[in-house]
A and B are shown apart, each in its own frame.
Chain A
Amino acid sequence: MPGDDSSKIPDAVQGVSPAPSASVEPSSGGLPTGSSLYGIDLTIPLHDRRILIADSSPFSRKTLTRFLSWFGVTDVVFAKDGKDVLDRVNEIGANLILLDTNLGSLTGIETCRLLRATPAGRDVPILVQTTSHSDQTRARCFQAGASDVISKPVNPGELIARVGYHLERRAMISELKTFRERIEQDLAMARAMQLALIPKPERVAAVTRPREFRIDFHFESCNEIGGDLWSLHEIDDDRLGILIADFSGHGITAAINAFRFDALVSRRTATERADPGAMLTGLNDELCEMLPFGQYCTAFYGVLDRGERTLCYASAAQPNPFITDLAGAIATLDGSGPFLGCWPGEAYDNRKQPLGAEGFLFLYSDVLTESPDRNGVVLEERGLEALVRDAARSEAPLKTLLDRFAAPRRHPYHDDLTAVWVAWP
């Protein structure tokens, strides 16, 4: 009878099954250290787990407690009925809840459903015990959010296997969640650092205004962080250098490379900054030393000269930029060139383009030409040129262009996006 069964193995009364075989019968309320019932291996220790038992029968409560204690679970809390569970679930903070279907006025199934609607009960494993073997009842338990259903009479081996499984699963999920949160925090910080590498609008304005250029830009990563980069380089009163680069791959690897690349760029001499070919040649040599084989970047570096009215540039496989030519028509620049970081000793040539009285230069990463719309169609260079032509006539060309680009496409794009629109009067 309840109250005097502490050393006895319970019989299959009140829905609790007979004891396991004699060889594993516990002595003094617990299994011998390190042993396991029927050879069940508990992959996680259970001694620090708290289990809430909601069962109206004192005998069942006692028996379940004893079964659990054989496996090291000693932190057991009781609730007398469904209302009691709901009132105290938050305060108890159980790692797992064992609910009986028969819980007085509020059934176990209903309690389970209500528990799932509370913050404390939303994720906790809930095991429902039922004497019913009907498929319908068991299905209703699962519908109410039960993690598992245990048949009464409860067998200790099955009980502990299921409890262990659900606790382990919960522990893994919570570990993953913690890991994910940490990574997300790290990535958010890395993203802030990456954005700090990109020129701020105030600096862009300060650098471009005296030289009578106007620059609009857009920069976004497809993941939290990415491998795109662009920067401005003041050379003298007339000349302004613009660099745009895109590392192969995505995500963290590409982003780390972008950081290293930024450090290399900041080390370039004034002579190199004024000479695009020398700039890319120097960067290539250092990147070849630095990058693992097979990683590389594409880059374009151009020097706009208001005095000479030219753009002098060098390019390493960057998508062909658009520019207005002397006649005011839209032309493409030759963006071809060997990747940076693959071919040691490679020399990059300067190319020159005259600037008309008024016009623009549009630099962009390849996501604009290669990102498919909802019908799977990519713009390619010709399609982008049409967008550029229309956008050039509008008040805010870059915004117009990107809005029209975005409309038929899913966001975020499959790759990082950098776009720089330089205009002169």
Chain B
Amino acid sequence: MNYEVHKSPGVTTIALKGRMCFSDHAVFRDIIGNFDLPPGESVVFDMGGLELIDSSGLGMLIIARDESKKRQLEFIIENPRTEVRRLMDMAKFNRFFTIRP
């Protein structure tokens, strides 16, 4: 998985690309490094470039949500592709995450 960080006032957008899998724990730790933000700001995971997510990847999203909560950030998931969205729907992520189509 690769990622790019885009900053605008109050909003940090992290665009994820490729596959979010078991082997991406180190990359994911780097991504979490970008959550060092003032309370009240937003972190957006733009998942439009994410082709695939596995069970470990879904676990990373849960950790990202938890990390945001601890830092009082708003955590938003954006643009998941159909297959990724299907897996999130299976786990009823819409009840725990803000997901924008």
Confirm or deny: B5 has a beta carbon within 8 angstroms of a beta carbon on chain A: no
Q: Write out, one digit per residue, whether chain A residues 318-332 have a CB within 8 A of any chain B CB (1) or not (0).
A: 010000000000000
- Inter-chain CA distance A71–B47, complex, in Å, is 60
Which chain A residues border B59 with CB–CB below 8 Å? 248-249, 294-296
Set B56, B89, B96: member contacting A248, Cβ < 8 A? B56
User: How far, in whole Å, are A339 and B96 apart by their CA atoms in the complex?
Assistant: 11
Q: Are A336 and B90 in contact (CB under 8 A)?
A: yes
**Residue ID in chain A nearest B59 by CB atoms:** A294
User: Which has the most chain A C-beta neighbours within 10 Å: B56, B91, B95?
Assistant: B91
Distance in Å from the Cβ of A335 to the closest Cβ of chain B?
7
Residue of A nearest to B61 (CB): A294
Task: Name the contact of B62 in the complex, choosing from A249, A293, A335 (C-beta under 8 A).
Answer: A293
A319 to B89, CA, bound (A): 11
Q: Is B63 an interface residue (CB 8 A)?
A: yes
Q: Is A317 an interface residue (CB 8 A)?
A: yes
B90 to A335, Cβ gap below 8 A? yes
> Which of A249, A294, A317 has a CB less than 8 Å from the CB of B91?
A317
The answer to whether the Cβ of A343 comes within 8 Å of any Cβ in the partner chain is: yes
Within the assembled complex, what's the spacing in Å between the Cα atoms of A316 and B93?
Answer: 12
In the complex, A202→B50 CA distance in Å? Answer: 45
B91 to A336, Cβ gap below 8 A?
Answer: yes
Q: Contact string, B12-24, partner A, CB cutoff 8 A, digits 1/0?
A: 0000000000100
* Chain B positions within 8 Å of A337 at CB level: 91-92
Most buried by A among B55, B58, B96: B55
A336 contacts B62, CB within 8 Å? no
B30 at the interface (CB under 8 A from A): no
| Min distance, Cβ B75 to any Cβ of chain A, angstroms | 14
Q: Are B63 and A317 in contact, with the CB atoms below 8 A? A: no
Which residues from chain A contact B89 at a C-beta distance below 8 Å? Answer: 336
Near A by CB (< 8 A), chain B positions 9-39 give 22
Known interface pairs A293-B66, A294-B63. Does A249 touch B92 (Cβ–Cβ under 8 Å)? Answer: no
A336–B92 touching, CB < 8 Å: yes
Residue of A at shortest CB range from B63?
A294
Complex Cα spacing A106 to B95, Å = 79
Q: Decide: A338 near B63, CB < 8 A? Known: A248-B55, A249-B56, A317-B91.
A: no
Give CA–CA (A246, B58) in the complex, Å: 14
Picked from B62, B66, B95, the residue with its CB within 8 Å of the CB of A296 is B62
Residues A338 and B95 in contact in the complex (CB < 8 Å), given A248-B56, A249-B56, A294-B60: yes
CA gap between A338 and B97 in the complex, in Å:
12
Residue-wise, chain A 281-321 has the 8 Å CB interface mask toward B (1 for contact) of 00000000000011110100000000000000000110100
Return A250 CB to nearest CB of chain B, in Å.
Answer: 6
Give A342 to B95 CA distance when docked, in angstroms.
Answer: 12
Inter-subunit contact A339/B91 (CB<8 Å): yes
Complex contacts, B95 vs chain A, CB 8 Å: 338
What residues of A have a CB within 8 angstroms of the CB of B22 in the complex? Answer: 249-250
Residue of A nearest to B64 (CB): A294
Chain A, 239-255, CB within 8 A of any chain B CB = 246, 248-250
Complex Cα spacing A248 to B56, Å: 6
> Across the interface, do A249 and B63 meet the contact criterion of CB distance under 8 Å?
no
Shortest CB distance B68–A (Å): 13
Q: Give chain A nearest CB distance to B52 CB in angstroms.
A: 9
| Chain B residues whose CB sits within 8 angstroms of the CB of A339 once the complex forms | 58, 62, 91
Which residue of chain B has its CB nearest to the CB of A320?
B90
Chain A residues with Cβ below 8 Å from B58 are 248, 339
Contacting residues of chain B (54-101) with chain A, CB-CB under 8 angstroms: 55-56, 58-60, 62-63, 66, 89-92, 95-96
Given known pairs A336-B91, A338-B91, the reply for A343 and B55 (CB within 8 Å) is: no
| CB neighbours of B55 from chain A (8 A) | 246, 248-249, 298
Contact B62 A338 (CB under 8 A): no
Closest chain-B Cβ to A277's Cβ sits at a distance in Å of 15
Encode contact with B along A332-355: 1 for CB under 8 Å, 0 otherwise.
000111110011000000000000
20 CB-based A-B contacts, threshold 8 Å: A246-B55, A248-B55, A248-B58, A249-B55, A294-B59, A294-B66, A317-B91, A317-B92, A335-B90, A337-B91, A337-B92, A338-B91, A338-B92, A338-B95, A338-B96, A339-B58, A339-B62, A342-B62, A342-B96, A343-B96
Other A-B contacts than A249-B22, A293-B62, A294-B59, 19 sampled, CB-CB below 8 A, are A246-B55, A248-B55, A249-B59, A293-B66, A294-B62, A295-B59, A296-B62, A298-B91, A316-B91, A317-B92, A319-B90, A335-B90, A336-B89, A336-B91, A338-B91, A338-B92, A338-B96, A339-B58, A339-B62
Top 6 nearest A-B pairs (CB, nearest first) are A248-B55, A294-B59, A317-B91, A294-B63, A317-B90, A338-B92
